[in-house]
Structure 1
Amino acid sequence: MMKSAPRPLALAAASALVLVGLFAVPAAATAAADPAPASLRINEIETDGSPDWVELINIGAESLDVSGYKLTGRANEVTMTLPSDTVIGAGAVYVAEGGDFKLKKNDLLSLYAADGATLLDSYEWGDAHLDTFGREPNGTGDFVQQAAPSKGELNPEPSSDPTDPTDPTDPTDPGDAWKSITLNEITSANDDPHHDAFELANTGDVDVDVAGWQQTDSSSNPAPIDAPNGTVVPAHGYLELLSNQGLSSGGDSVKLYLADGSTIVDTASWGDNDAQPGSWSRCADATGTWVHTAEASWGASNAAACAGQIIPPSTPVDPVDCQTELPSGSGPAIAGGLAWPGSQTATVSDEECEFVTPLSGQDVSGLDIDPSAPRVMWAVKNKSHLYRLVKTDAGLWVPDTANDWAAGKVLVFPDGGGQPDSEGVTVGPDGSLYVTTERDNAASGIPLDSVLRFDPSEAGTTLHPTAQWVLTADLSDVISTEGSADANLGFEGITWVPDAYLTANAFVDQSTGSAYDPTDYPDHGTGLYFAALEKNGHLYAYALNADGTFHRVGSVDTGLPMVQETQWDADLQRIWAVADNSSAGSATLLKISADGAIVVDRIYDRPTGLPDNNNEGFAVAPSSTCVDGVREVIRSDDGNNGGHSLWSGTLSCDLALGAQGPVPPVDPQPGTPTPTPTPTPGPSTPAGGGSTPPGAGSAPAGNGSAPAGTGSSPAGLASTGTAPLPWLAFGAALMLLGAATALLRRSRRRA
């Protein structure tokens, strides 16, 4: 017969097991950030109905049981669960609707598997209701506005009939007839039925069908027109459309495109309250100057309105011979900002209409002063154009006339074509220029977040990249990498930060959770490239390898909700992050903290005398140029207001900044006993605001780059302080077992 253990030993063993159970650390749960491969897709969406509804399609070859699958809407935080026994046949559609499931403007619709965690599909849209939007072709294509809802049925497939190039009303091949269409009247008022409306005029002799054409305001991506009155503009007639984006009474613009989303038909801008009450109207029709008429004239000539009361405009419209764009999307400054540490006034520092190209007369987005030549500055337009600027004795920055730079140079992709939406520029340690893109403007509805490298010494008027790092897929945890939702919210500025600075201050590599070691990336050069992502206001640090591969080392929360520019300041040993008018021109200065994270050191307000325009570019002259304790700082206006894009002011050369990086140990005073070291938690959360970098604990995301670390738990996450607990439990268990053994021996001796 088996003897039971003596009571003291049994109690000790049981206690040890309880302790181990109490101190066990549960495995961390994970959820997929990207849509999982699935045969169930969102196919059509109605957000302006009663009720709203979502059509799903099974693109697989077999029937699919979708019982318990879930649809969520971000804006109202609503969830709809598909009922039990719901089966969708192969190639069939299913309509999900419910009275409480309401979708809004600026919403995100997501489709999840029954576990509520596996994301299968999603679609995000801007400041307009979808009435209705569907995929063309069904299940796999992009979302486009439907001519009519096809609820519960397959969406009409795109026409495969050949176009007739002689038919001027054919929207897919309109010939030259579209050139007779102009914007004629606009209102930003919200009164139905003309809320946020605009009117087209046709000066030609034939009707023009604008079906499939696209429109946007000053800050959104082109999207299909909203045409409640039909799509045909009669010869010598008028057609009223509704804006697919809300139009701001404080100043905005309407841009009309052909169906390709890139060919501009016409554009018009207005200032504060110029488009209401009444209308912003052309006097005379189609060709005249834009004026604020007290009366509207929808669907008819503006003649009567133009003969009536004219309200003086708040802002002169296009007072110069080049295209301008009023600021839009303005937001408040970042709380806690200090006064700008330099001049509060700003002066124009370029020549009028200096940056006109065949594609645009504005759009100067990124700046960088050449560290080897402080009187040379590079300026990039987000219409695939780059300028080498030199500073004159009068203090102006003008295009260099040497080596074919007089009119700037065209930028292309590696295949020699395309129109890079070039947003930021930095000079690398090799003298090459590194330019960020967020899309190809020839296909503006598709994100293409990449870094292009150019040799500025290349002869001719076109620069061909010597390398490209395509980073779009690596950002799938942040942006929608398909469709147009985030095509204009990608990379903006870029800057190069030397390894020497990062290692001297014990910068933490988020992909390993340890101090950054440049030898982990032997082909990356001597520093990291920090690219500014507009959508979330973060900087993304990359090791760009010579063979075209890359590795994301971390992300940095700049303290800005959206960021347009970043600059490494070698003199301050800090990184600048700068917002445009989305945050009233606020700027943050970043440092490396004691635990190796890049954090906000200071917040600065925009200089009070600098116009709150779409100031996207930012460059700081080196301290070698300091005069009377200040150096030049330049900002570029993406809208070219008044015909100028560059504004210069000053920055104090000494900002009295404190230390950064690890805190040096303090030597104990003589006679002071040295304290016994105690276990401390692991490293704090790396720079990036707690986001988990791709590749943590596995192969890192990024073009085949080698893993930076292994292990089952994500590297680079903040320590919870629980790692030593299992060892403490084990030790406690051993102590209890030892006590029990002693008791047992004592009991045997008594016996």
Structure 2
Amino acid sequence: DVAEGSKGRSNLVTNPAVINEVESDDPNNGPDWVELANPTNEKIDVSGLILKDSKDDKPYTIKEGTSIEANGFLLLNDLTFGLGKDDSVRLFEGDLLIDSTTYSGHTSPSWGRYPDANGKEFRSTSEMTPGKRNKFAGIPDLIDWPGKGEVSIFDKQPTFLEDSSGLDFADGKLYAVDNGTATFWELDVDKDDGSMSFVKGFEKGKRVRFQKDKDNAGAKGPDAEGITVDSKGMVYLASERDNSAKGVNYNTVLMVDPSSEGNDLVAQKEWNLTSLLPSVSANMGVEAIEFVEADNVSLIDKNTGSAFSMDKYDQSVADGVFFVALEDNGHVYAFVLNNDGSAVLISDIDSKLGGAMALDFDTSEKVLWVAADNGYGNRSARIKLNGTDNPEITHVLPPSGLDVNGNFEGFAIADASYAIDGERPVYRFQDGVKEGALVIGSLATTK
């Protein structure tokens, strides 16, 4: 195994090409090679970029007229230098270093960026894949988005707030939440044409406060990153901290009745999950929550060592399991939330994405989706709960029309009854923008 690698990416606006895979010791005595990747959705020109190893005496200049297709790769196997043990590969734009990696020993079998094209680290691959996506031991296969590439924008003018975060789709409605204010919205979705309109009373959303702040209308409130709806229509928000104490991680779930009068609600129930989850920095905690009805939960309960059964949890607030995702490690934790405010952790699933920002259970396909943000190329993991400790996981690229640099923190899929021409809506919510936050794509239905 290779000991370590480094990524030296310039902070300036530069050519977006990155070093993606390196081969220094071809088992068939072939030439050393370097693969570049284009992590963007547009074709890029890489003419004139310069590659070097750890020395400066034999630079390789990429020929004029050379380009890399959108999300594509470029194999360079006619290098002017040879790669040896304990060597480096550096990519320059003029005199400016824009990317680099260093490996120990020889590459074995090759040295690749992880995750492929968009990752922040390098590691040994499981096999050489020149001109193709990198493969790593224990990492799920990566597939193209299983739907159309086009996406459209719902809010072409300011409609939500600026800290857009979680989404959920339930009973013909799209639910959305803002993490800066813990304000959530309900939108009716039309089955015939997919159009959306705010449910009466939700034109400006409804704000949620902690129970401790019931007498303090000026409280800054939860950093509500995720939202979900149970089978009774109750809304649950997942918060990673109190906005009045941003330096402290405080992973909580708050329950409200969305039909309650007024636009300023106090949580009816709360669950503090902080001690049940790994210790993380304040802004790397719970990012998403998803309710899954008990009949669809097929996993091993860590408390019993056997198949999960709702019958063992007769104090549960709802007839199902609440999955929460941790941004820090990309893991998904399954909880039963009890009426008395206690919570029971029943499972820990590693999505193998490295980070996680959103969750959605596809009730039509019976799979749990985990979505990462632009730090991981807005990729997703599709998890099939198969009744074992090793659920089936597939990694999925975003649709080609999605801006992979966008910080999408919300993800939700409409059920199959909303399909139009074999494609059903997929919603994403982008943080940090005043308009263009809610983006709509599609997912192919399966027969």
TM bin, normalised by shorter chain, reads 0.5 to 0.7
Q: 1:344 aligns with which of 149, 158, 168?
A: 149
Partner of 2:284: 489
Partner of 1:526: 319
SS in structure 1 at match of 2:226: strand
Partner of 2:343: 550
1:248 and 2:47 aligned: no
SS in structure 1 at match of 2:296: helix
Structure 1 Cα separation of the partners of residues 245 and 390 of structure 2 = 35
Structure 1 Cα separation of the partners of residues 335 and 285 of structure 2 = 15
Partner of 2:174: 377
Structure 1 Cα separation of the partners of residues 10 and 222 of structure 2 = 28
Q: 1:365 aligns with which of 155, 162, 165?
A: 165
Mark the runs of 5 or more structure 2 residues left unpaired by the alignment: 15-116, 121-132, 135-140
Structure 2 Cα separation of the partners of residues 519 and 537 of structure 1 = 29
Paired amino acid for 1:248? N
Partner of 1:649: 441
Name the structure where helix makes up a greater proportion of residues. Answer: 1
Structure 2 Cα separation of the partners of residues 497 and 650 of structure 1 = 22
SS in structure 2 at match of 1:377: strand
Structure 2 Cα separation of the partners of residues 495 and 563 of structure 1 = 13
Paired amino acid for 1:388? E
8 Å CA contact retained: 2:362, 2:369: yes
> Compared with structure 1, are the counterparts of its residues 354 and 338 closer, same or farther at alpha carbon in structure 2 (3 Å cutoff)?
same
Q: 1:479 aligns with which of 250, 273, 279?
A: 279
Paired amino acid for 1:604? V
Partner of 2:126: none
8 Å CA contact retained: 1:591, 1:598: no
Paired amino acid for 2:234? S
Partner of 1:624: 417
Matches within 5 A, 1:322-721: 331-332=118-119, 336-356=141-161, 362-370=162-170, 372=171, 374=172, 376-383=173-180, 384-391=182-189, 395-400=194-199, 402-403=200-201, 405-415=202-212, 416=214, 417=216, 418=219, 419-475=221-277, 478-480=278-280, 486-502=281-297, 505=298, 507-524=299-316, 525-593=318-386, 596-612=388-404, 613-640=406-433, 643-654=435-446
SS in structure 2 at match of 1:390: strand
Q: Larger deviation: 597-606 or 389-398?
A: 389-398
Structure 2 Cα separation of the partners of residues 447 and 463 of structure 1 = 23
8 Å CA contact retained: 2:351, 2:393: no
Paired amino acid for 1:493? A
Report Cα offsets for 1:571-617 as digits up to 9, x if no partner: 10111111111110111111124x61252432210111111100110
Give the TM-score normalised by the residue count of structure 1: 0.40
8 Å CA contact retained: 1:568, 1:574: yes
SS in structure 1 at match of 2:375: helix
> Compared with structure 1, are the counterparts of its residues 509 and 413 closer, same or farther at alpha carbon in structure 2 (3 Å cutoff)?
same
8 Å CA contact retained: 2:194, 2:425: no
Name the structure where strand makes up a greater proportion of residues. Answer: 2
Paired amino acid for 1:520? K
Matches within 5 A, 1:148-297: 248-250=11-13
Report Cα offsets for 1:43-80 as digits up to 9, x if no partner: xxxxxxxxxxxxxxxxxxxxxxxxxxxxxxxxx99xxx
SS in structure 2 at match of 1:568: strand
Q: CA offset at residue 391 of structure 1? A: 3.7
SS in structure 2 at match of 1:442: coil
Paired amino acid for 2:175? W
Q: CA offset at residue 623 of structure 1? A: 0.4
Q: CA offset at residue 394 of structure 1? A: 7.0
Structure 2 Cα separation of the partners of residues 387 and 247 of structure 1 = 39
Paired amino acid for 1:608? S
8 Å CA contact retained: 1:439, 1:447: yes
Paired amino acid for 2:198? P
> Compared with structure 1, are the counterparts of its residues 394 and 528 closer, same or farther at alpha carbon in structure 2 (3 Å cutoff)?
closer
Report Cα offsets for 1:632-681 as digits up to 9, x if no partner: 1011111227x210111110111x7xxxxxxxxxxxxxxxxxxxxxxxxx
Q: CA offset at residue 461 of structure 1? A: 1.3
Partner of 1:715: none
Give the TM-score normalised by the residue count of structure 2: 0.66
Paired amino acid for 1:500? D
8 Å CA contact retained: 1:349, 1:395: no
SS in structure 1 at match of 2:250: strand
Structure 1 Cα separation of the partners of residues 207 and 382 of structure 2 = 33
Report Cα offsets for 1:506-551 as digits up to 9, x if no partner: x211122222222221111311100011101001100101111111
Partner of 1:309: none
May I ask how many residue pairs the two structures share in their alignment? 313
SS in structure 2 at match of 1:597: coil
Paired amino acid for 2:286? F
Structure 2 Cα separation of the partners of residues 341 and 562 of structure 1 = 22
Q: CA offset at residue 250 of structure 1? A: 4.4
8 Å CA contact retained: 2:194, 2:418: no
8 Å CA contact retained: 1:343, 1:649: yes
SS in structure 2 at match of 1:379: strand
Structure 1 Cα separation of the partners of residues 422 and 330 of structure 2 = 31
Mark the runs of 5 or more structure 1 residues left unpaired by the alignment: 1-75, 78-189, 191-245, 252-329, 357-361, 481-485, 657-751
Structure 2 Cα separation of the partners of residues 598 and 542 of structure 1 = 18
8 Å CA contact retained: 1:350, 1:398: no
8 Å CA contact retained: 1:563, 1:579: yes
8 Å CA contact retained: 1:588, 1:600: no
User: Which has the higher Rg, Structure 1 or Structure 2?
Assistant: 1
Paired amino acid for 1:433? V
> Compared with structure 1, are the counterparts of its residues 573 and 395 closer, same or farther at alpha carbon in structure 2 (3 Å cutoff)?
closer
8 Å CA contact retained: 1:585, 1:605: yes
Relative contact order, higher structure (CA 8 A, sep 6+): 2
Structure 2 Cα separation of the partners of residues 639 and 598 of structure 1 = 36
Partner of 2:59: none
SS in structure 1 at match of 2:185: strand
Structure 2 Cα separation of the partners of residues 397 and 445 of structure 1 = 37
Structure 1 Cα separation of the partners of residues 425 and 385 of structure 2 = 25
SS in structure 2 at match of 1:457: coil
Structure 1 Cα separation of the partners of residues 426 and 241 of structure 2 = 29
